[in-house]
Structures are given as C-alpha cells and as structure tokens.
C-alpha cells in the first residue's frame, strides 16, 4: 500500500522550527488585485501568519502603476520584512516588471532573478516555496534516496518546475524536465523513480505514466467547475495502487508551501539585520 505523504505533519514541523519568529513581530506585505479572491489562498496565509505572530499588511491595487508604486514603497519601508505579490493579476499587466522591483532580501517567493540565479549556482539562501515544500515532504517521509534517483519534473514554470529541477539536481538526482512540447511522456515517466507533476490539469497523470513502486508528488491544484472541489494533476484512483508513495490533493504540497513561504520571510528578516 502506498504511503500517503500528507502535508500537515511536515508543515507542523516547519512551524515548530519557526517558533523564534513569534517574538520578532514581523510584517509581510501582500499585494493583490482588487477583484481577486486569490483562489482562497489568503485565508490559509492568514491562519499561518496568526500562528507565527506575523502581521499581514494587505494592499489592493486596481492599476498596474499602483502595483509598481506599491512594490517600491513596501521595498523602501523598514517595517515591511517581506513582499508577496498574490496572483492572479490581470493578464495584460507586466507581472515580471513589478516582481523585479521587489528587493531580493524581501523576496519571499524567491523568484527575483538574483535569487533564482543564486539558486542556479547552488548558493541560493531563499528557495521558492513550492519546490522547497516538495523537498521537505520527501525528506520528512524519507521514501527514496534522492541521490542518483531518476527524477522527472513535469512542468517548467519559473515558480515550480524550473526551481524544482534545480533543487533536485543539487540533491544529486538525475533530473529530466518535461513540458507541453515533450514527445511521448509515458515513455519518460514510466522510467522515473520520482515524478513531480505541476501542470495544472486534473487527472493528467494516469496509470500509463508511472512505474510500479515510484514516488509521486502532485503539485497540481485545480478547482473543479462547481468551485467547491480541489483536485491535483494525478488520477489518484489509477495511480495510487501502483506507487510506493504519493501526496494527496488537497492536504499535500499546498499547506507545506505556505509554511515554506514563512520560512523565507524569516530568512529575509535575518538577511536584513545582518
């Protein structure tokens, strides 16, 4: 039977490690688009902030210029210890232009070119929260040695797939990255000891894709049409009986990602007082 790698115990262990944050009265600046509910993410963020005695300074913007001005203002404000741009923003906005304005030492998402560049060189202090969460889960459950493992990352986004590739490579896995132009995905995925899937399509990874006994991490977070149910990218009924370990959705990577975001806030603070 597969080990179900639930996120909660991993997140709890991270919050325990972050207890010293509680006395620091840190503030995380969050900027969101006025009409967005940020996919309900804000409520998870608020609960975690409360747990660590972190104040959320939430700003809502309606225009792109307001976004860039706000990023600059929070970047200059010594009372703000980290900045998070809470997606989604309107598609026509130049999100990268705004996110590049975040000072690297306040970049809790760790996606500023300086932070991503340092990560690529193997000297990143801040690691993007989602790949950090995936590694935390794999370390916590200790279900496979990463060194030498044949790992496949499906998805190459800057926030997930790309830094996931870097992190796994730095842990000495042999990593392949698949994306929408990859030919014959099942032939690649069925050889992998570890599959991390971050595509954003329900039931994308089926029994045709996996090797018996593989470890599967499902990053996908897909809200179904009725708006009430969240599912991952893995066809769980087909895949779970075949594999040795799998993360559930919901209850897997998501909650650990939030905990890792606060870990990054703590690291940002430490960098600011150095």
Closest to ligand NAP by CB, 38 or 185? 185
Which parts of 115-174 interact with ligand NAP (CB under 6 A)? 130, 154-157, 159-161
Closest to ligand NAP by CB, 76 or 184? 184
Note whether 216 binds ligand NAP by CB under 6 A: no
Rg (CA), the chain: 19
CA distance 144 to 142: 6
CA distance 98 to 195: 32
Closest to ligand NAP by CB, 103 or 232? 232
Minimum separation from the CB atom of position 182 to ligand NAP (A): 6
Note whether 180 binds ligand NAP by CB under 6 A: yes
Minimum separation from the CB atom of position 107 to ligand NAP (A): 16
**Helical H segments across the chain, by residue range:** 8-17, 41-51, 64-76, 95-99, 113-120, 129-141, 161-170, 185-189, 236-239, 253-273
Beta carbons within 8 Å of 127's beta carbon, 6+ residues apart:
110, 119, 163, 167, 260, 264
Note whether 219 binds ligand NAP by CB under 6 A: yes
Minimum separation from the CB atom of position 221 to ligand NAP (A): 4
142, two tokens = 């200790």
In the stretch 196-215, what mask flags binding to ligand NAP with x, by CB under 6 A? Answer: --xxx---------------
Binding site for ligand NAP (CB under 6 A): 130, 154-157, 159-161, 178-182, 185, 198-200, 219-222, 253-254, 257
């Amino acid at each position: 039977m597969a080990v179900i790698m639930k996120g909660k115990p991993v997140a709890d262990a991270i919050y325990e490690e972050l207890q010293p944050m509680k006395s620091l009265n840190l503030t995380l600046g969050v900027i969101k688009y006025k009409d967005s509910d940020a996919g309900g993410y804000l409520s998870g963020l608020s609960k975690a902030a409360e747990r660590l005695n972190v104040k959320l300074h939430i700003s809502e913007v309606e225009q792109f210029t307001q976004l860039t001005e706000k990023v600059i203002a929070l970047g200059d404000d010594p009372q703000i210890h980290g900045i998070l741009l809470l997606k989604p923003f309107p598609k026509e906005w130049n999100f990268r232009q705004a996110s590049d304005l975040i000072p690297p030492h306040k970049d809790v998402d760790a996606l500023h070119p300086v932070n991503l560049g340092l990560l690529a060189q193997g000297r990143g202090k801040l690691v993007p929260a989602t790949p950090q969460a995936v590694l935390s889960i794999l370390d916590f459950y200790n279900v496979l040695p990463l060194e030498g493992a044949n790992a496949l990352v499906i998805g190459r986004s800057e926030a997930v797939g790309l830094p996931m590739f870097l992190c796994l490579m730095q842990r000495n896995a042999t990593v392949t990255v698949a994306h929408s132009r990859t030919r014959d995905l099942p032939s690649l995925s069925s050889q992998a000891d570890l599959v991390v899937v971050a595509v954003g399509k329900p039931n994308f990874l089926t029994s045709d894709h996996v090797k018996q006994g593989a470890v599967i991490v499902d990053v996908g977070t897909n809200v179904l049409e009725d708006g009430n149910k969240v599912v991952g990218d893995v066809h769980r009924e087909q895949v779970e009986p075949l594999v040795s370990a799998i993360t559930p959705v919901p209850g897997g990577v998501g909650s650990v990602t939030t905990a890792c975001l606060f870990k990054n806030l703590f690291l940002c603070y430490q960098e600011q007082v150095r």
